[in-house]
Amino acid sequence: MAKTPDAKTPDIKLHSTKNPQKENVRGAMVQLLQTHLGTSIDLSYQAKQAHWNVKGMNFIAVHKLFDELHEQAEGYVDLIAERLTGMGGQAQGTVQASVSNTILEPYALDIVHAEDHLRRLSDSYAAWSKALIEGIEEADEAGDDLTADLLTEIGRGINTSLYFLESHFQVEPGRAI
């Protein structure tokens, strides 16, 4: 799950801390959390992109939903960054840094129709949900219960949001979405 360092992602350098985790675990978790920080920033602004540009039936309902999703994702940004820095990491929280760290596909800037935004956002939420599950497993294997718990909390929220998004176009049981 964690990305390997490349030209855009510098090697993980840890600040000294009294955090009781072993340094190698902290380094691995900081790297994992950088990925989720970038993804949460990306998802936050994907929801805002949809909020600003949605048109069509049920406009006000989905316009408000997209704004609520943005606010929720902003909360995840802060939770992840605080865990990351509490472990001695340096949060890479700019929009430019999130491009290097996100697991999400770029959001098309020409989407207008409500259903198209709902479907596109549901793809992003599903992708992050999968990555969160993998991150929970990675944190568990590293012995970092607190990071696993944080990712579990976020995963519950992401799955609820995915349900809200998909419910707009799930009309027949068993019909493929």
Please tell me whether residue 3 adopts helix, strand or coil conformation. coil
Distance (Å, whole) CA 170 – CA 54: 19
Residue 176 lies in a domain: no
The answer to whether 44 and 95 are in contact (CB under 8 A) is no
Domain of 84: which CATH number? 1.20.1260.10
Residue 5 lies in a domain: no
pLDDT bin (cut points 50, 70, 90) of residue 176 is low
Residue 174 lies in a domain: no
Q: What does the radius of gyration of the chain's CA atoms come to, in whole angstroms? A: 17
pLDDT bin (cut points 50, 70, 90) of residue 163 is very high
Residue 14 lies in a domain: no
Q: Supply the pLDDT for residue 107.
A: 98
Total count of domains within the chain: 1
Residue 11 lies in a domain: no
Q: Decide if pLDDT at 1 tops 70.
A: no
Query: pLDDT tens digits for 72-108?
Result: 999 999 999 999 999 999 999 999 999 999 999 999 9
Residue 6 lies in a domain: no
Closest CA to 31 of 107, 144, 152, 157: 144
The answer to whether 33 and 83 are in contact (CB under 8 A) is yes
Q: Supply the pLDDT for residue 15.
A: 84
Q: Supply the pLDDT for residue 153.
A: 98
Q: Decide if pLDDT at 6 tops 50.
A: no
Expressed as residue numbers, the domain containing 158 is: 23-166
* CA 123 to chain CA centroid, nearest Å: 12
Residue 91 lies in a domain: yes
Q: Decide if pLDDT at 4 tops 90.
A: no
Query: pLDDT tens digits for 103-158?
Result: 999 999 999 999 999 999 999 999 999 999 999 999 999 999 999 999 999 999 99
Residue 62 lies in a domain: yes
Q: Supply the pLDDT for residue 174.
A: 66
